[in-house]
Amino acid sequence: MASYRTIRTITEIYVVLCLLGSFEQVASLICYNCAGTNLKSQCLDAGYFLDGFKDTDGNPQMFKNCTAPFNTSCYIEEYRIDGSLKSHIRDCSDGMTYAYPVNDTKYARLRWEAKTLRNQTECIFTGTVQVCLTACSTDFCNGPQYDAAGTYGPHIPYILILLIGTLLSQ
């Protein structure tokens, strides 16, 4: 028969686990995070995303653990003037706030439609300015898109191992 001390220890562990399980879990979303201002930007280079997850000190980069309130969606936003890329941004959003000025009413429809986007792109044209927004709601959904041949397919296990290792080390 188990001793009183053993039963008490098991009971204490059980109570602690129950208490931990009763706290509301805060959902987070993991998005690619970068910005660039030209077509040669690393933010547009799929290979860089796959091979460049850590900086020279071994710290994670190019992705971010998005926490409330900016954990509703990941996005890609491109801003062009006369067809020339001026900015390309990948980041987290609350579903209403993106890089382009919120108070600019010309883009209000784009922001509203972004709430319903599921990895589709919506663009607004005003004169020579074009702003395109892609919004999505799953981890890493705003990352590089792979072609049908799976060009970057062999790197996927590396990404998963790196991600799991990074999350466990926090």
- What is the pLDDT, as a whole number, of residue 91? 92
Distance CA 73, CA 138 (A): 7
Res. 64: pLDDT tops 80:
yes
Angstrom distances, CA of residue 67 to CA of 29, 47, 115, 135, 145? 7, 27, 18, 16, 24
Which of the two residues, 117 and 170, has the higher pLDDT score?
117
Please report, rounded to a whole number, the percentage of residues in the chain having pLDDT higher than 90. 8
pTM of this prediction exceeds 0.75: no
Q: Contact at 8 Å (CB) between 34 and 62?
A: yes
Span 13-58, pLDDT tens digits: 443 333 334 334 446 788 988 888 888 777 777 766 665 556 666 6
- What is the pLDDT, as a whole number, of residue 125? 83
